Amino acid sequence: MQPTEHWLLMERGETEAARYTARFESLGLALPEHRLSTEALLSSCVHHPNIDLERLTGVRERRVCNEGEDSRSLAIAAARDCLAHSGHRAEEIEMLVSASISKYSGGLHHRLEPTMALDVARAIGAQPGRVFDLSNACAGMLSSIFVLNDFIRRGAIRCGMAVSGECISNLGTNAAKQIRTIMSSQLASLTLGDAGVAAIVERAPAGKEKEGITFAGFTTLAEHSRLCIGVPSKVGPGASMFTDARTIHKVAVQDAPALLAEALRESGLTFGQVDWLIPHQTSSRAIRKGAKEISERLGFSPKHIVDNIAERGNTASTTHFVALYEYLEAGRFAKGDEVLLLSFASGLEVGIVLFRMDELVERYGHPH
């Protein structure tokens, strides 16, 4: 028999090494207080482009950092919120992974050492044996979940935390100084918002092996790596981002169905059995159009497609967990729901995490 060709890097489901199941035990969220409307952001544009950005993207406002807020502060606040919802103590975290693209500390100072992960661990009182940063563009959080899932399934650890603080609204501030038309390669920067998230992943207890994370896989389409790049800004502090959004969408829709089919096949599901699809929150139009085209090619549609971009914007590596957290708080999920997190990140990186909702729903939607 010929070996099956796999496009996704994944932890095989039925291997001797994979002895346990991992699950999400708790989530944390931190949002800056300040709201910046799309109308206000466009009014700050130097060249006053005639763009109806809210209609084009669905973004009405986004949260942005003020003085004293940055990647570090958002990550620490999200980690603390995660612990507040958790049954674990900080000292029980055996591995902590920081997944942010931005690593601003003390304002727009991009810091690499000491690692953000070590800084967060110290701030929350954790002393994990393994602590490191993992940056993979907007797929950073899902990549970190992939790593934690692997360590837990092999029995190397019992409990870990993934955390990210994204302070990226300066990309929009810098873009506003240069954008002239709707065709600008910096247009996507005007959709960005700031947020911090965290997730504790643990070994599922005995009897719960059929819940939790049922699949995690990634692939990189490196030939598209130049479709979105970030460079130090020439017009202000921080960075500038240049994106070919149309081509990224085209490539993602073209390649995603085969990758999704593989992930679903490994999980024993069809696309129609997915209760909640949480895609990367780029724009409402892209989410609707992409989901429609992928569903047509797979022959099934997920029951619900999450779109929370109106008040949050695109928050980079934190986007899936901002949406997941807020839908948990709103009581939208039920035990047993199949949830699919789908990432399209610059690179082009495609990430898929599929999990079955369990007692996580009981930790949200009420005071804790």
Query: Per-residue pLDDT tens for 94-116?
Result: 999 999 999 999 888 888 888 99
* Mean pLDDT value of segment 209-219: 88
Alpha carbon distance 334, 348 (integer Å): 33
Backbone φ, ψ for residue 140 (5° rounding): -55, -45
User: What local confidence, expressed as pLDDT, does residue 109 receive?
Assistant: 83
Tens of pLDDT, residue by residue over 122-157, are 999 999 889 999 999 999 999 999 999 999 999 999
Secondary structure (H, E, C), 56-77: HHCCCEEECCCCCCCHHHHHHH
Alpha carbon distance 154, 214 (integer Å): 14
Ordered alpha helix ranges (H), the chain = 38-43, 53-57, 71-84, 116-124, 140-153, 170-175, 245-267, 284-298, 319-329
Q: Answer for the pair 128, 121: CB distance below 8 angstroms, yes or no.
A: yes
| Topology (CATH) of 12-362 | Peroxisomal Thiolase; Chain A, domain 1 (3.40.47)
DSSP β-bridge partners for residue 240: 231
Q: Residue 363 has what DSSP assignment?
A: G
Give helix then strand counts, H and E, for the chain: 9, 15
Question: Got the DSSP string for 221-245?
Answer: -GGGGGGEEEEE-SSSSSEEEEE-H
Alpha carbon distance 147, 140 (integer Å): 11
AA identity, residue 360:
L
Q: Answer for the pair 230, 239: CB distance below 8 angstroms, yes or no.
A: yes
Domain borders along the chain are 12-362
Q: Answer for the pair 278, 342: CB distance below 8 angstroms, yes or no.
A: yes
**What is the chain's mean pLDDT, rounded?**
92
**Is the pLDDT at 368 greater than 60, yes or no?**
no
Tens of pLDDT, residue by residue over 55-89, are 999 999 999 999 999 999 999 999 999 999 999 99
AA identity, residue 367:
P
User: pTM for the complete prediction?
Assistant: 0.93
